[in-house]
Amino acid sequence: MALTSKDILANSGIQFGTSGARGLVEQFTDQACAAFTLAFLSVMKEEFSIERVALGIDRRPSSPSMAAACAAAAADLGVTVDYYGVLPTPAVALQAMQDGIPAIVITGSHIPFDRNGIKFYRPDGEISKADEQAILQAEVEVKSVQSVLPDESARARQLYMERYTQLFAPDLLQGKRIGLYEHSAAGRELNAEVLKKLGAEVISLGRTDTFVPIDTEAVSEEDQQQALAWSSEYELDAIFSTDGDGDRPLVADEHGQWLRGDILGLLCARALDIQALAVPVSCNTAIEKSDLFAEVKRTRIGSPYVIEGMAVLAERFERVAGFEANGGFLLQSAVSMGAAIITPLPTRDALLPALMLLAGSALQGKPISALLAELPERITASDRIKDVPTDKSKALIVSWAENLNAMLESLHLPSEAVSADTTDGLRVTLSSGDIVHLRPSGNAPELRCYAEAGNYLQAKALVSHCLERVNKVINT
């Protein structure tokens, strides 16, 4: 008897996280990839007329073979595959939404090298949590087919480039020296071309053919020191990079100091004159303290929840957006900028916030550090403990949520707890004004810690202290 997608996925060990299906590379067999594709397309066929599907990949060595299995399964179902090769996830999503077709992107984003993932898009945007469950419950017969990749198209690349090069004057960044930390990012050539078309002098940095899992929420000490060195050596106005699939930005100012993603998002939202924002509970409270927005809606962590929040806000506001602590910016509404209009793209995008920051700096004649100085002084730091079983992290957080004093005692925190938020993990505001937020990662067996304080050194020290104490508790 033929296996069904439901049986295969249930036994695969692959799970949906905050951004798509994630698992170990060896779990993404041809059969599992085919099962995901068939289940996804069958769910989409219940609501849409599906004749084509967009497909893209990141630079992980395992991504092409996974994409080939997905393409073969789609073709066996009679669905034509528009294959875009290595491209930023938002570029594939943008083309698919314009064409009114679903999309599949093979990417593990920033997670460790031994893992990979699949992101799914409906014809009208990211799949919802309800869609995820429907995919897992679908029962589609999975047959053995010959895995093959179709010919590659440049349509999505061109559309994504035009989205931003037509938004600004071609001399916008004239005289600016921008370092492009390329590593193994899916959009490294595209990003360089966009910056050059806007007049910037682009200095290529850190290019490699070895996949590098850059986490924009937990920048390594090596990358922090490297940015300082690059900025000094090349006299840069900024450094721009992204995570592996190009939906999370990483930007440094003229001194080589990396910006936190939520601060970058705040500056982008200000530049776009956004009225209402949906952001995860982990984001910096400078967003509210800035008094720039009519409403800020706090959500659980993960783009599906931000998208839900934006949809609610869009019922009452004309200019709505969202972003995450990782810097990925989601645009719910069409926004006019002079004679140009930027269309909605309600999925994480790295290029928009970076360009809006560079544009603001250029047009106002101010360095990036001066734009940062205009914001309320609330600084966030974050880091993580790797290889912590998710069930162990969750159990610890549940116990501390029920007994905040036990948490304060275990972490050796001298302040009292003023309030606690369990929207996603455990976020505790202390009497000192500092904030500690503990949360299991939704994408990997990691425990994340976010800390907010009045200055960077204090926030960084608080994160290091809390993770050191948590590590002792977990391993006791």
Residues 304 and 298: their CA atoms lie apart, in Å, by 13
Residues 180 and 200: their CA atoms lie apart, in Å, by 11
Q: What is the DSSP letter of 51?
A: S
Residue carrying structure tokens 């069930």: 391
For residue 152, how far is the Cα from the chain centroid?
Answer: 25
Q: What are 274-329's pLDDT values in tens digits?
A: 999 999 999 999 999 999 999 999 999 889 999 999 999 999 999 999 999 999 99
Query: CA dihedral defined by 192, 197, 198, 204, rounded to 10 degrees?
Result: 20
* Fold: same for 5-153 and 172-373: yes
> What value does the mean pLDDT take over residues 23-48?
96
Confidence of residue 144 (pLDDT cuts 50, 70, 90): confident
Q: The pTM is what?
A: 0.90
For residue 211, the model assigns a pLDDT of 85
Residues 201 and 195: their CA atoms lie apart, in Å, by 8
Q: What are 49-94's pLDDT values in tens digits?
A: 999 999 999 999 999 999 999 999 999 999 999 999 999 999 999 9
> Helix, strand, or coil here: 272?
coil
Closest CA to 159 of 230, 214, 90: 90
According to CATH, what is the number of the domain 172-373?
A: 3.40.120.10
Which position among 12, 62, 65, 109 bears the catalytic label?
Answer: 109
Token couple for 169: 């004057």
Closest CA to 238 of 255, 223, 225, 261: 255
Confidence of residue 443 (pLDDT cuts 50, 70, 90): low
Residues 177 and 195: their CA atoms lie apart, in Å, by 10
> What value does the mean pLDDT take over residues 166-190?
96
For residue 145, the model assigns a pLDDT of 81
Residue carrying structure tokens 């069904």: 4
Q: Determine which of 52-61, 62-71, 232-241, 437-446 has the lowest per-residue pLDDT on average.
A: 437-446
3-state secondary structure 195-237: HHHCCCEEEEECCCCCCCCCCCCCCCHHHHHHHHHHHHHHCCC
Quickly count: other Cβ atoms within 10 Å of residue 211's Cβ: 18
Yes or no: say if 415 and 428 are a contact pair by the CB < 8 Å rule.
no
Residues 300 and 143: their CA atoms lie apart, in Å, by 38
Q: Which CATH architecture has domain 5-153?
A: 3-Layer(aba) Sandwich (3.40)
DSSP 440-464: E-SSSSEEEEEEEESSHHHHHHHHH
Q: What is the DSSP letter of 158?
A: H
Q: Is 65 a catalytic residue?
A: no
Pairing of strands 125-126, 103-106: unpaired
pLDDT at 420 over 70: yes
Domain residue limits, the chain: 5-153, 172-373, 379-474
Q: What are 339-352's pLDDT values in tens digits?
A: 899 999 999 999 99
Confidence of residue 467 (pLDDT cuts 50, 70, 90): very high
For 379-474, which CATH superfamily applies? Alpha-D-phosphohexomutase, C-terminal domain (3.30.310.50)
Q: What are 99-136's pLDDT values in tens digits?
A: 999 999 999 887 777 899 999 999 999 999 999 999 99
Q: Determine which of 175-179, 286-290, 391-395 has the lowest per-residue pLDDT on average.
A: 391-395
